[in-house]
Amino acid sequence: MQINRIEQIHNSNFNFCSKNKCSLLFENFTSRDIYSDTNGKEFANLRNIYNNLWKNLELPENLKPRLQYKAMLSNMAFSISDYMIYVEKRLSPFKMNCRNKTGKNESILRHEIEHVRQIWDIVRLIGADNMAEEFKNNTNFNIEVTPALLKKMREIENTLGRITNNSAEYAKAQQYLKALRNYPDISQYYGMSIKEIIKHLKYKNNLLEKQARNEASKYKPTLIKTLRVIINEFCKLILH
């Protein structure tokens, strides 16, 4: 329904200003430039960036979460229950392309990968079966332990081994567990209430988020680079 509406606008613009720069611009825009096609090359490039990043970080291939496209409010999100990294699918190919080229997507992916690693540490600390029990009994988590999730957690434990109190990661893993237990569930607060703002601040200050942001910031492109890529891609789009 929305596609039709945009196409109508596009056509009327085309008719109204047929022989000036404006028409050339609109002529070159198609609905594909406005709406995403998850089979497009931009999404394929995103997968390549993800696969390369995973490889460069030397993380085990068998524990790599799949990338899936979904309509949602954030750009990307790691879902523990589905063991999946979700990518907002309504992003236009133009934006997706720019984010691939500036390195912004790599930085966002790095953020989500850090959450994956945090979950690994927690599972390794308390064990897959105990983690499943905790998810089941603690209503704060709102995580359904499916056989697939339990299997994945056992695979994490078997691949990476348990963290014991002699391990170097012990203190860090304990802090992650505490932060996970205090992780605010902001998914149901979309209003601008005080409650939402407090939850959001807690979310921003949660150790898991702080640490993921810290890792992502090492990959964050500079403003100059971002602008250069966007201008470049925009010129390509209107001159093609």
Ranked by CB distance to Zn ion, the top (closest) residue is: 212
Q: In whole angstroms, how close is the CB of 120 to Zn ion at the nearest point?
A: 15
Q: In whole angstroms, how close is the CB of 112 to Zn ion at the nearest point?
A: 7
Q: In whole angstroms, how close is the CB of 77 to Zn ion at the nearest point?
A: 8
Which lies closer to Zn ion via its Cβ, residue 76 or residue 125? 76
DSSP string, 172-220: HHHHHHHHHHT----TT--S--HHHHHHHHHHHHSHHHHHHHHHHHTTP
First CA to last CA distance, the chain: 28
Which lies closer to Zn ion via its Cβ, residue 123 or residue 212? 212
Two tokens, residue 33? 């430039």
Q: In whole angstroms, how close is the CB of 29 to Zn ion at the nearest point?
A: 33
Q: In whole angstroms, how close is the CB of 44 to Zn ion at the nearest point?
A: 25
CA distances from 18 to 5, 14, 187, 236 (A): 20, 6, 46, 21
How many CB atoms within 10 Å of residue 93? 19
How many CB atoms within 10 Å of residue 235? 10
Residue 224: exposed, middle, or buried by beta-carbon count in 10 A (0-12, 13-18, 19+)? Answer: exposed
Which lies closer to Zn ion via its Cβ, residue 79 or residue 140? 79
**Interface residue list for Zn ion (CB under 5 A):** 209, 212
Q: In whole angstroms, how close is the CB of 192 to Zn ion at the nearest point?
A: 21
List the one residue out of 80, 50, 65 whose CA is nearest residue 145: 80
Which lies closer to Zn ion via its Cβ, residue 143 or residue 229? 143
Beta bridge partners, 89, equal: none
Which lies closer to Zn ion via its Cβ, residue 121 or residue 209? 209
Strand order in the sheet with 76-79: 66-70, 84-88, 76-79
Q: In whole angstroms, how close is the CB of 121 to Zn ion at the nearest point?
A: 15
CB-CB contact of 160 with 195 (8 Å)? no
Three-state DSSP class for 240? coil
Which lies closer to Zn ion via its Cβ, residue 102 or residue 211? 211
DSSP designation for 144:
-
For tokens 């594909």, the residue is 32
Which lies closer to Zn ion via its Cβ, residue 106 or residue 209? 209
